[in-house]
Structure formats: structure tokens, C-alpha cells
Structure 1
Amino acid sequence: MNGQAKHSVTRRAAFTQLVGPVALVAAPGLANAAAPAVQTARKKTFVLVHGTWHGGWVWRQVAERLQAQGHRVLTPTATGCGERAHLIGPDTNLSTHVQDICAAIEAEDAEEVILIGHSFGGLTITGVADRLGERIAHIVFYDAFIPTRTRPAWVMPEADGSWPKWWKDRQAHFIHGYKMNFFDHYPIKMLVPEEDVVNVALLKRKLTWHPAGQWTEPVSFTNGGWEDRPRTYIHTTLQTFAPSSPAMWGPGRGAGWRWIDVPTARDGMLTHPDVVAACFASLG
């Protein structure tokens, strides 16, 4: 057994010992979350939208597990990220990413979509739901920012129209003024535990820059965004460094929302793909 395989086995064993069956009780329908071969009666269509600095590649293990159950899974990569990083430009923004995902859904004739967004992909999926609401059966925020009409962007201007100081300080580090680099602002433990050497190495190799305009452009609520959709918030409970705050998930505690706690790190699709796939498969 090579070192990577041995680490993977050890990590799975440690995780099973850590969470056991109790941690999964918090999320209805996840009693068998550790078993990737769980079968569901109805086959579903998932569109999985990555967050900042990631790409469609981040969903590979989760997609494989869902597909093994007969589900259809799309994992598009937004412009300027992942394998499409070379396409970034000063005008790449939230509208670009919304169009990317809408185009993928339309090109694949996807209907009754379970639309899942991670991190600031919550902005993107809100814009997609606003444009393609008739195709979206369920919108899901996986440890993601939920925008609202009063806060339609992550970075909001001050009363005088200027950007807040924290954002202007960050802009000084952006490549060419618009390319955000993860490692300029965050440690790797923001995404996965530092001791997870396999995924740390993967992220250091795979993370790309990200267009700042995806954080600053307000999302459209012209057609209600997520407001009239069946909706779920998936909250990660094993994130120990800078766990998501009410600024991210606040609306998810309100009326009309289903709330699920899952025992994963922020990038649980990498650290706990069995758990994440089982959680997604449980969604209606």
C-alpha cells in the first residue's frame, strides 16, 4: 500500500471513530452517510457550483458517488477559475459566472435541478435561480453565503459609495487589480485541516486566482432569487478555523429553510466525500 493510500485509509478510520453514528443524526436521512452505495428511489439531477478559487474539479469524488447511484451530475467551472483560469479578465464578474452556470444547465437540457453552491458560489446560484427559476427544483447553500435584497453582494460599498477599508487593503495585493489569490489572505486550514497532507497538496496545486468582481457585483433578485425556491442550508460542523458566521448563513435560520448540520470541514467534498454525497442524495 503506498503512502497516499495508507493516509486515506487512516483518515477514514479516524473520521469514523471521531463522528460515529451520533454526528450524522443531526442531518435527517444521513444515518447511512458513510456508505457511498446507498440507493435512492428517485434519480435526480444535480448541478454543483464551486466556490472562490476552486473549479468543477473539486466535486469529482462527490459526483462519482452520486453518479454511481444513478443520479445525473453537472460540475461546471466558472470563467477565470480552474481549467478556465486563463480566461479571466478585468470585466469577469458575478454576471459572468451566472451566465456560465445558466449556459451549462440550458446546454444540457437540465430540468428539476438540485442546484448546490459552495462558499461564495452562493451568490452565483442565487443569480442562476433568479434567471432559470422554472428549472430549479431545490436550491442548496453548502457552507455558502446567502445574499439578500439588503446585502446582495459580499463586498458592499459604504454610504458614500466608496469601498470599505478592509477591501481596499486587499485590493493592493490583487494581481493586475482584479485577480484574488487565496494564499495572499488565508491559511490552508481555512479549507481543510493542516494535517490532511493529501488534500493540502491537492489544493496548493489546484487553487487558482478568482475574479474580484464576483464578490462585488450585486446579485439580481428581479425574479426573487432563492426566495420562492425550496431551499436548504448545509452547515459544516468540523470547521475549526474561521467557521462560517451568521453573516454567511443568517437567513438560513429563517422560515422556509431546511437546516442540515454535516460533520465536515469547509471543503468537505474533499475531506468527507461519502458524507457529502449522502447528504446531497438525501435532498428532495
Structure 2
Amino acid sequence: MNDQVKHSVTRRAALTQIAGPAALLALPQVASASAPAIQAAKAKTFVLVHGTWHGGWVWRQVADRLHAQGHRVLTPTATGCGERAHLIRPDTNLTTHVQDVCAVIEAEDAEDVILIGHSFGGLTITGVADRLGKRIAHIAFYDAFIPTRARPAWVMQEADGSWPKWWKDRQAHFIDGYKMNFFEHYPIKMLVPEDDAANIALLKRKLTWHPAGQWTEPVSFANGGWEDRQCTYIRTTLQTFAPSSQAMWGPGREAGWRWIDVPTARNGMLTHPDVVAACFASLG
């Protein structure tokens, strides 16, 4: 068995674990044999929301694969991040990021949206769902924080209104007092394996600062947030450093939620784009 065939078999096995045989229809090597099934599949609209320090660029490989299957994919970049890093201000916060994504969905007349957020993009997509209501058909948290009414922000104030000590200690290292820097607080293995030289180099070039207010402002549940809609939690099972826990997925294990274990590192959209794209295509 040559290396190319081995790679194909391994990739098919991983895809079958997360999405079943239907996901294999998207693979180039079986597309010709399954053309009628692919053509009959309903095109979906995805809005992919990046996590802290990233930008819309992080979804490029996944978006390419979903586009190739006939789906529509929007990958907005939040204010203060990615190519919009220069727009960061002291008052850039969660509301700003929610408005960024809502504006793209509305400007693009997107309906029946499958809204997916990564990491602390879970806060942003909850706010978007709360604001846009019926436009959002399905909300999925890709190794992301699920906020709740009891914990509507990642960083919660103490009973006396003060910030917790761990947060105040971290603030001392923020650029200009409000710009969070990934490399000041986390090792690269938080995102990709330490031996993944290509993606490490990419992340070192691409990661930007991030507005602290996106972590501290409570998200709105005025219209229910993610409640009363199709919800999925996608957990990355190959994450070895600080893997997601109950603190992140919260209600994701409860009745009414779909749970998917996906065999990737936290930034699987970079390390395993085929697997992640197949997982996303199975939603809705």
C-alpha cells in the first residue's frame, strides 16, 4: 500500500468516526462515483466565526472545501483582529464583535444560517443568535465556550463588582491595558501540535492582539441566545494541552444537544481541514 493510498484510508476512517459514510461523498476520490447524490444534497449557508486572536483567514481551507461541495460560506473577521487589527480601540468589546457578524449576515441576505463559533467565538455566536433570531437555523460550538444565563461572560466579576485576581494579574501584561497577546499567556500547543512546524509558522505570522472586552462583557439572552434552536457541541478529542472541559461546554451534554467528537487538535481547521469540513457539512 503506497503512502497516498494509506493517507486516503486514514482520512476516510477519521471522517467516518465523526459524520458517517455520507461525509465521504465530498471526497474527490469518490465524487465521480457519487455525483447524483452530491448534486441532490441541499446547499447550506455557513457563517464561521473565529476565536480569540484569530481572523476569518483561519477558516480558508475549510471554506474552500465547503464551497467545493456547493455550500455558501461567510468568514467575517471581528474588529481588532486579523486584517482588522488596526481598528481596535479601548471600547472594542463583545457587542462590537456581535455587530460585526450580524452586519455581514444582514448585508449578504443570509437566511437559514448554520452559525459556527470557535473557542471564545462561542460568546459572539450566542449574541448573534440572540439578535438575529430566525435567520439562525443551527448554532454549533466548535471546541468553544457555551455561555449561559448564569455565566454570560468568560470573565465574571466578583460579588463586590471587582475582577478576579487571575484576571487582574493578566491585565498587567495587556498591551495598552486592553489588547490581549496570545504568546504572553499560552504555549503554541494550545492550538496545534508542537511538531506542526508549518502551522506554527503560520500562527506566528497571523495571530494578532484581541480586545479584552470580548471576554468580559456579558452576552445578551434577551431573546434566548442559543436557546430554543438546534444546537451542537463539537469537541476536539486530540487536544492534549488544556483540553476543553465542563467549564467550556456547560450545557452541551444536556438533552436536546447534538454532541460530536472530532479527532483533531483545537485548531483542526488548520491541521485537519478535510475532517472539519466534513463535520460541518453534516450539520443542519
TM-score, normalized by length of structure 2? 0.91
From the superposition, tell whether residues 16 and 170 of structure 1 become closer, same or farther in structure 2 (CA, over 3 Å): farther
SS in 2 for 1:27: helix
Q: What is the CA–CA distance in structure 2 between the aligned matches of 1:175 and 1:15, rounded to whole Å? A: 45
Q: What is the CA–CA distance in structure 2 between the aligned matches of 1:14 and 1:245, rounded to whole Å? A: 31
> What is aligned with 2:180?
180
Task: Return structure 1 stretches of 4+ with deviation > 4 angstroms.
Answer: 10-17, 23-26, 30-35
Percentage identity across paired residues of the two chains: 82
1:27 paired to 2:27 = no
Q: What is the CA–CA distance in structure 2 between the aligned matches of 1:222 and 1:11, rounded to whole Å? A: 52
RMSD: 2.0
The structural deviation recorded for 1:250 is 2.0
Q: How does 1:121-270 map to 2 (within 5 A)?
A: 121-270=121-270
The structural deviation recorded for 1:229 is 1.1
Question: Is the CA contact (8 Å cut-off) linking 2:12 and 2:24 kept in structure 1?
Answer: no
1:43-77 per-position Cα deviation (integer Å, ceiling 9, x unaligned): 00000000000000000000000000110000000
From the superposition, tell whether residues 15 and 214 of structure 1 become closer, same or farther in structure 2 (CA, over 3 Å): farther
From the superposition, tell whether residues 191 and 12 of structure 1 become closer, same or farther in structure 2 (CA, over 3 Å): farther
SS in 2 for 1:80: coil
Question: Is the CA contact (8 Å cut-off) linking 1:36 and 1:65 kept in structure 2?
Answer: no
Question: Is the CA contact (8 Å cut-off) linking 1:127 and 1:220 kept in structure 2?
Answer: yes
Q: Match of 1:29, as an amino acid?
A: G
Question: Is the CA contact (8 Å cut-off) linking 1:30 and 1:278 kept in structure 2?
Answer: no
1:206-247 per-position Cα deviation (integer Å, ceiling 9, x unaligned): 000000000000000000000111010001001011101110
Alignment length (residue pairs): 273
Q: What is the CA–CA distance in structure 2 between the aligned matches of 1:33 and 1:47, rounded to whole Å? A: 22
Question: Is the CA contact (8 Å cut-off) linking 2:23 and 2:281 kept in structure 1?
Answer: no
Q: How does 1:267-282 map to 2 (within 5 A)?
A: 267-282=267-282
Q: Any gaps of 5 or more consecutive residues in structure 2?
A: 32-37
TM-score, normalized by length of structure 1? 0.91
> What is aligned with 2:112?
112
Question: Is the CA contact (8 Å cut-off) linking 1:33 and 1:275 kept in structure 2?
Answer: no
From the superposition, tell whether residues 182 and 191 of structure 1 become closer, same or farther in structure 2 (CA, over 3 Å): same
SS in 2 for 1:132: helix
SS in 1 for 2:46: strand
1:72-118 per-position Cα deviation (integer Å, ceiling 9, x unaligned): 00000000000000000000000000000000000000000000000
Q: Any gaps of 5 or more consecutive residues in structure 1?
A: 1-9
From the superposition, tell whether residues 202 and 11 of structure 1 become closer, same or farther in structure 2 (CA, over 3 Å): farther
